[in-house]
């Protein structure tokens, strides 16, 4: 729920002149900065915690550290390059993990994940109104669905005990 709700919290607490900013990272200078930093930091800590306490989930620790880097470095100015490196690493590693664990999922579920991701990327590329903010929100929702399915082994979705990834 935290992953899915972060963009909503940012919209609720933003009192800036823009109604919706270009990306989640663009909210770093929100009038109430805790609305950006608190949920992002908690999400990073939850990833790290999950990776430390659950067998075969070390990749979640790496994801948490990548997300912490996204929060630590600003998306513009002198620290833009590290920010974008951490952000790309976070989303790419999440996609790889999701594809790995969804390998045995029911075909309709695996296809649905691919369609949602492809539709988000296509909309981002071809529709001016679809900014990085919206694609990030969809990505966070896909990540949240992955965690729910993975923890329950739903629809043939591999439970963490079925596959171990060591980084």
- The answer to the question of residue 165 being in a domain is no
Domain count, the chain: 1
Expressed as residue numbers, the domain containing 17 is 2-156
For residue 143, what pLDDT is reported? 81
The set of long-range contacts for 72-81, using a CB threshold of 8 Å and a minimum separation of 24, is: 74/25, 74/28, 75/23, 75/25, 75/26, 75/28
Q: Determine phi and psi for 22, rounding to 5 degrees.
A: -70, -25
pTM of the full predicted structure? Answer: 0.81
Two tokens at 58? 């070390």
Asked whether the CA dihedral 3, 9, 46, 134 is positive or negative, the reply is positive
- The answer to the question of residue 114 being in a domain is yes
Of the candidates 64, 104, 108, which has an alpha carbon nearest to the alpha carbon of residue 86?
64
Query: pLDDT 10s per residue in the chain (167 long)?
Result: 888 889 998 998 988 667 788 899 999 888 888 999 999 999 999 989 988 887 777 888 999 999 999 999 999 888 999 999 999 999 888 888 877 766 666 777 777 877 888 888 888 889 988 888 988 888 888 888 877 776 666 665 555 444 554 44
């Amino acid at each position: 729920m935290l992953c899915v709700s972060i963009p909503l919290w940012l919209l609720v607490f933003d009192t800036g002149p823009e109604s919706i900013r270009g990306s989640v990272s663009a909210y770093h200078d929100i009038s109430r900065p805790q609305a950006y930093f608190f949920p992002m930091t908690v999400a990073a800590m939850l990833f790290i915690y999950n990776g430390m306490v659950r067998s075969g989930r070390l990749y979640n620790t790496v994801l948490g550290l990548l997300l912490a880097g996204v929060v630590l470095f600003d998306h513009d100015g002198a620290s833009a390059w590290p920010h974008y490196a951490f952000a790309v690493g976070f989303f790419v590693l999440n996609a790889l993990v999701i594809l790995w664990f969804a390998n045995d999922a029911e075909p309709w579920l695996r296809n649905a994940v691919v369609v949602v991701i492809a539709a988000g990327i296509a909309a981002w590329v071809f529709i001016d109104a679809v900014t990085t903010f919206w694609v990030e929100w969809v990505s966070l929702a896909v990540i949240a669905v992955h965690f729910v399915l993975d923890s329950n082994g739903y629809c043939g979705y591999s439970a963490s005990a079925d596959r171990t990834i060591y980084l």
